[in-house]
Amino acid sequence: MPPTAAAPAAVRATAPVAPADPATDTAAATVPGRTVPGPETLQPRELAPADARELSKVFLARLRELEEGTPEYRYVRGVLIEMNVSLVNYAARRFRRRTAQARVDLEDIVQVGTIGLIKAIDRFDPDRGVEFTTLALPFITGEIKRYFRDTTWSVHVPRRLQELRSDLAKSQEALSDLFGRAPTVAELAEDLGLSEEEVREGMVAANGYSSESLDAGSENEGQDGAVRAGRRTLTDTLGAVDPELELFEDCHTLAPLLARLGDRDRRILAMRFGEELTQAQIGAELGISQMQVSRVLARILTQLREGLLAA
């Protein structure tokens, strides 16, 4: 299901509602040393980051005490989501470059990350003494990475190669900084502990991450160094159909048929079409008449033609 449909539904299902027992929930909105609005006037998205962190601790502890599915539970869970949307925005900004490369709306990434936030809220255990952000950020970034892995590749490749693309990118960046130049395949293989063949396979698979229309305009740099876009399409830069390609295919198909011929038949073909001798010259060479050479050639050519048509 695309993120634009899945994430909002998940958020709407947990949106804050009026608590059934305001007196009980007022205590949950109290932060020691700070004046925080009560549940009736609380605006989770407008809280300062420090207040949101402290108030999240209180709400997370309260969430564990409530029965799932009750109005109070939905209210507390919804407020937690609203208070921590800033974590999703922070994580989404880290993927801004990949978002641009994949031509994905940043809002879609925020919605995907919100799913990770919801999972973190549902699985957080205050008794473990771990900060909520320590758990939430891996859940959020993991959900975003999974989205990129599963939906943004133009060509589907195995997950192993998808993960290898990421490792190659990191290795290339690190080795480029170290050497002051682009690393070779051998250097990448040594750095990643892989064979050169595996590295080449990963580099080829990386080309499947994004695609471009054959009709898209290409950027051309003029003599003055200025980049001019759209003057030529990618189709314009492709070579024409090779007229010899069909001949190559025919020769490739003909090879096993020639191998089945007898020695004399192959010699006659070589003399006629390789050395370009006349039938009279071939007959004189082999000690047979020109008529016999003509009949042999006709038989051989018919046999080869039928073999080609049947292939």
Tokens standing for 203? Answer: 């580099």
By CB atoms closer than 10 A (0-12, 13-18, 19+), residue 142 is middle
CA atoms of 153 and 287, how far apart (whole Å) = 69
DSSP secondary structure, 170-231, as one string: HHHHHHHHHHSSPPPHHHHHHHHT--HHHHHHHHHHHTTS----TTSEEEEE-TTS-EEEEE
Tokens standing for 156? Answer: 């589907």
Print burial letters for 151-186: b (CB count within 10 Å at least 16), e (below 16): eebeeebeeebbebbeebeebbeebeeeeeeebeee
State yes or no: pLDDT of 20 exceeds 70.
no
pLDDT at 30: 46
User: Residue 129's pLDDT band (boundaries 50, 70, 90)?
Assistant: confident
State yes or no: pLDDT of 113 exceeds 90.
yes
Average pLDDT over residues 301-309: 89
Average pLDDT over residues 172-181: 90
Average pLDDT over residues 175-197: 91
Q: What is the mean pLDDT of the chain?
A: 78
By CB atoms closer than 10 A (0-12, 13-18, 19+), residue 275 is exposed
**Residues 112 and 3: beta-carbon distance below 8 Å:** yes
Give the whole-number percent of the chain exceeding pLDDT 90.
32
The pair phi, psi for residue 220, each rounded to 5°, is: -120, 130
By CB atoms closer than 10 A (0-12, 13-18, 19+), residue 290 is middle
- Which range is least confidently modeled, 165-174, 175-184, 220-229, 243-252? 220-229
pLDDT (tens digit, 9 = 90+) per residue, 22-57? 333 433 444 444 444 444 456 777 777 788 888 888
Instruction: Count CA atoms within 13 Å of residue 22 on its CB side.
Output: 7
pLDDT at 89: 92
- Which range is least confidently modeled, 53-57, 101-105, 193-197, 227-231? 227-231
CA atoms of 76 and 69, how far apart (whole Å) = 11
User: Residue 219's pLDDT band (boundaries 50, 70, 90)?
Assistant: low
User: Residue 213's pLDDT band (boundaries 50, 70, 90)?
Assistant: low
User: Residue 167's pLDDT band (boundaries 50, 70, 90)?
Assistant: confident
Distance of CA 298 to the CA centre of its chain: 57
Give the whole-number percent of the chain exceeding pLDDT 70.
75
pLDDT at 253: 86
Average pLDDT over residues 236-261: 81
CA atoms of 83 and 81, how far apart (whole Å) = 6
pLDDT at 217: 63
pTM confidence score: 0.46
CA atoms of 6 and 167, how far apart (whole Å) = 30
DSSP 46: G
pLDDT at 46: 73
pLDDT at 80: 92
DSSP 271: I
Instruction: Count CA atoms within 13 Å of residue 3 on its CB side.
Output: 22
**25 or 249, higher pLDDT:** 249
User: Residue 104's pLDDT band (boundaries 50, 70, 90)?
Assistant: confident
pLDDT at 153: 63
